[in-house]
């Protein structure tokens, strides 16, 4: 990850977003704890403290990890857009059974292996334009805080020691299950929870695990060992945000047992522990089955971005509501790629046109005058963006409707500029272009879809990815364009259409513009079988 790039993105998000007065901002979020939408009100006016469970770093991260990161990045960006000062904490689990097993397979030190994949994760996050959290703590760097919390839990009779292991006594916590509605006996079915006859209750879970040969360990009052999985997030969230904070987030699969156990631990250590809103993103599925490493049906972020632009992947991820299931589909990724190509091509065309008209753009500080259509378009886009985003981040409804109408208007205004007009009318069109483009880029910025480099660079990258998927190089396409031009000169339009269709089936669209033919990526179109 390039830290300077992340810092630039974060500054850009905070500076260019149109901010609202936090006293007036109306934002509704779905709270998993109450199972209903609630008005968002932070504990400290003007400030938001948010903790999101990160990845267990032992391999390249997959699409499910990308969805969680992008979902909460949009939340982070939107809260900043509303004017809040946000402290965002997202952890890395770098001490865990899975990490140890992988390290034993590869012959690496577990902490070193995990560090390598933490760095790879941050490369992926940078590619997806996820802003860096305020803090990215790792388990290995917070052992003392974890041991202190375990001590508090034991001292308050919620934990007990057996042969160097420390367990949480769920029977002592009467509210266990209030987040998930799960019964105690279901805890043994948790992915990382093994049945242990030494437990007082099969549902009790490990706070501290006694050292085993070949595993990383630290000294503790109960003997050498390492933390259990759940205690890390309770300790680190309390360390950075206190026991009382606003938002705790993560994937839907973390509700039980992980977040349920976090609540029990945190409340046991501090009776006043309180999280205002629990937020969870939905699963990514593959053929309607949850995508995960354990099931072996996942695609890594890196595998996808080798063929599709990271911004196309981000568009795909936010083109569904964050709480809904999202089924992986190459067709949808192709559609996302085509959609962002259209967005950036429109903005590039607008930018090219405006750069040639600099001298005609007023710079007198007066409010810009726009056409009635532009004024209505801007108002509609602003209202729709605010309405949909303030309703539990309904991003899937943002990139349609008024947003697409705004892009269409930009293209219409560009067409109008090519026609002869009176000076005043021409000035209205130019100012309308400036103002509509400004509103479109504000929306893209909050959604994390405003690229940190030129639109032309993104367009070139999108075309390169399309060629990769088609198994072609640009010279192949140019050759077909030249051959097709000769075929058209010979008036063999049937063959000309077939040549165009052959490329379109591979995701390459030919467009005849005057006497010139250009190409752009498109969704591959399956050809109709010939009738024999």
Q: 3-state secondary structure string, 486-511? A: HHHHCCCHHHHHHHHHHHHCCCEEEE
- Write down the residue that tokens 């591959």 correspond to: 524
Contact present, 85 and 19 (Cβ < 8 Å): no
Residues 509, 410 share a domain? no
Using alpha carbons, select from 377, 142, 191, 224 the residue that is nearest to residue 292. 191
**Residue the block writes with tokens 């899937």:** 396
Do 266 and 243 contact (CB within 8 A), yes or no?
Answer: yes
129 and 159 co-located in one domain: yes
In the block, which residue shows the tokens 């006694």? 210
Q: Cβ distance 301 to 128 under 8 Å?
A: yes
Number of alpha carbons in the 13 Å side-chain half-sphere of residue 195:
5
On whether residue 8 sits in a domain, the answer given is: no
Asked if the structure places residue 81 within a domain, the reply is yes
* Tens-digit pLDDT profile for residues 432-444: 999 999 999 999 9
The angle, 0 to 180 degrees and rounded to 10, between the axes of the packed helices 372-390 and 423-447 is: 10
Mark whether 108 and 204 lie in a shared domain.
yes
Question: 115 and 62 in one domain?
Answer: yes
The DSSP secondary-structure symbol of 46 reads T
Question: Would you say residue 15 lies in a domain?
Answer: no
CB of 278 closer than 8 Å to CB of 179? yes
d(Cα 109, Cα 84) in Å, to the nearest integer? 41
Rounded Cα gap, residues 338 and 350, in angstroms: 18
By DSSP bridging, strand 326-327 and strand 284-286 are parallel
Helix crossing, 402-417 with 330-355: angle to 10°? Answer: 40
Three-state SS at 50: strand
Render the burial of 374-391: b for 16+ CB within 10 Å, e for the rest.
Answer: beebbebbeebbbebbbb
Instruction: Find out whether 153 and 159 touch, Cβ atoms under 8 Å.
Output: yes
Instruction: Report if residue 13 sits inside a domain.
Output: no
Tell me the two tokens of residue 2: 């390039």
Do 229 and 346 share a domain, yes or no? Answer: no
Q: Which residues of 113-146 are buried (b: 16+ CB within 10 A; e: fewer)?
A: bbbebbebbbebbbbbbbbbbbebbbbbebbebb
pLDDT at 185: 61
- Whole-model pTM: value is 0.92
Q: Which residues pair with 290 in a beta bridge?
A: 285
Provide the 10 A C-beta neighbour count for residue 403: 22
Same domain, 97 and 213: yes
Let me know if residue 451 belongs to a domain. yes
What burial class does residue 183 get, using C-beta atoms within 10 Å of its C-beta: 0-12 exposed, 13-18 middle, 19+ buried?
exposed
For residue 71, give every residue at least 6 positions away whose Cβ sits within 8 Å of its Cβ, in sequence order, or none: 249, 281, 317, 318, 322, 393
DSSP string for residues in 421-437: --HHHHHHHHHHHHHHH
C-alpha to C-alpha distances, 219 to 154, 213, 433, nearest whole angstrom: 17, 14, 65
134 shares its domain with 231:
yes
Contact 55, 93 (CB under 8 A): yes
Can you give the pLDDT of all 532 residues of the chain as single tens digits? 444 444 444 444 444 344 444 445 799 999 999 999 999 999 999 999 999 999 999 999 999 999 999 999 999 999 999 999 999 999 999 999 999 999 999 999 999 999 999 999 999 999 999 999 999 999 999 999 999 999 999 999 999 999 999 999 999 999 999 999 987 665 543 444 456 788 999 999 999 999 999 899 999 999 999 999 999 999 999 999 999 999 999 999 999 999 999 999 999 999 999 999 999 999 998 877 777 766 777 799 999 999 999 999 999 999 999 999 999 989 999 999 999 999 999 999 999 999 988 777 777 767 888 999 999 999 999 999 999 999 999 999 999 999 999 999 999 999 999 888 888 899 999 999 999 999 999 999 999 999 999 999 999 999 999 999 999 999 999 999 999 999 999 999 999 999 999 999 999 999 998 889 999 999 998 765 554 4
Q: Does residue 21 fall inside a structural domain?
A: no
Where is the domain boundary, 414, 429, 455? 455
**Domain residues for 503?**
471-521
Q: Has residue 7 been placed in a domain?
A: no
205 and 81 within one domain: yes
pLDDT at position 2 is 45
Quick: pLDDT tens for 280-322.
Answer: 999 998 877 777 766 777 799 999 999 999 999 999 999 999 9
First to last CA, the chain: 56
Asked if residue 481 and residue 447 are part of one domain, the reply reads no
**How many independent structural domains does the chain possess?**
3
Tell whether 43 and 174 lie within a shared domain.
yes
- Are 435 and 378 in contact by the 8 Å Cβ rule? The answer is yes
Domain presence at residue 407: yes
Here the CATH number for the domain that contains residue 154 is: 3.40.50.620
Q: What CA–CA distance (Å, rounded) separates 320 from 298? A: 19
The pLDDT score that the predictor gives to residue 19 is: 47
Q: Which of 247, 271, 306 is where one domain is finished?
A: 306
- Going by the DSSP 8-state scheme, the letter that residue 369 receives in this structure is P
**489 in the same domain as 443:** no
Q: Which helix (H) or strand (E) holds 327?
A: strand 326-327
Asked if 227 and 300 sit in the same domain, the reply is yes
> 280, 272 in Cβ contact below 8 A?
no
């Amino acid at each position: 990850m390039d830290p300077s790039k992340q810092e630039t993105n974060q500054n850009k998000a905070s500076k260019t977003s149109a901010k609202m007065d936090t006293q007036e901002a109306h934002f509704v979020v779905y709270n998993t704890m109450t199972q209903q939408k609630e008005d968002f009100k932070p504990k400290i006016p003007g400030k938001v403290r948010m903790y999101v469970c990160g990845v267990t770093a032992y391999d390249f991260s997959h699409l499910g990890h990308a969805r969680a990161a992008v979902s909460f990045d949009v939340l982070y960006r939107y809260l900043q857009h509303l004017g809040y000062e946000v402290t965002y904490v997202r952890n890395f689990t770098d001490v865990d059974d899975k990490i140890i097993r992988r390290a034993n397979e590869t012959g690496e030190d577990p902490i070193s292996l995990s560090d390598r994949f933490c760095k790879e994760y941050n490369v992926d996050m940078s590619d997806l334009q996820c802003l860096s959290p305020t803090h990215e703590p790792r388990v290995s760097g917070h052992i003392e805080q974890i041991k202190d919390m375990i001590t508090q839990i034991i001292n308050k009779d919620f934990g007990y020691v057996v042969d160097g292991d420390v367990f949480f006594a769920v029977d002592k916590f009467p509210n266990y299950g209030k987040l998930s509605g799960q019964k105690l006996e279901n805890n043994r079915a948790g992915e990382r929870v093994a049945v242990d006859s030494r437990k007082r209750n099969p549902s009790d879970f490990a706070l501290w695990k006694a050292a085993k040969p070949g595993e990383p360990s630290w000294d503790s009052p109960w003997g050498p060992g390492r933390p259990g999985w759940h205690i890390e997030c309770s300790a680190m969230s309390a360390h950075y945000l206190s026991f009382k904070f606003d938002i705790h987030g993560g994937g839907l699969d973390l509700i039980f047992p992980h977040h349920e156990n976090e609540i029990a631990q945190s409340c046991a250590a501090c009776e006043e522990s309180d999280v205002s809103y629990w937020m969870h993103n939905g699963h990514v599925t593959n053929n309607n089955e949850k995508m995960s490493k354990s099931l072996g049906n996942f695609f890594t972020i890196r595998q996808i971005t080798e063929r599709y632009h990271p911004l196309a992947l981000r568009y795909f991820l936010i083109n569904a509501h964050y709480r809904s299931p999202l089924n992986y589909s190459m067709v949808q990724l192709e559609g996302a790629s085509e959609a962002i190509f259209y967005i950036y091509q429109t903005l590039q065309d607008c930018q090219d046109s405006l750069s040639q008209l600099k001298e005609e753009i007023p710079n007198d500080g007066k409010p810009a005058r726009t056409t009635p259509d532009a004024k209505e378009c801007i108002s509609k886009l602003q209202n729709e963006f605010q309405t949909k985003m303030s309703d539990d981040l309904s991003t899937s409804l943002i990139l349609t409707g008024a947003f697409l109408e705004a892009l269409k208007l930009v293209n219409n205004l560009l067409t109008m500029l090519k026609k002869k007009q009176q000076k005043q009318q021409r000035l209205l069109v130019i100012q309308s272009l400036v103002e509509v483009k400004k509103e479109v880029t504000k929306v893209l910025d909050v959604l994390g879809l405003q690229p940190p480099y030129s639109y032309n660079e993104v367009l070139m990258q999108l075309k390169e990815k399309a060629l990769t998927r088609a198994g072609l190089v640009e010279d192949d396409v140019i050759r077909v364009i030249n051959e097709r031009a000769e075929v058209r000169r010979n008036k063999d339009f049937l063959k000309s259409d077939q040549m165009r269709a052959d490329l379109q089936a591979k995701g390459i669209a030919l467009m005849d513009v005057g006497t010139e033919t250009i190409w752009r990526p498109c969704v591959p179109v399956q050809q109709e079988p010939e009738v024999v």
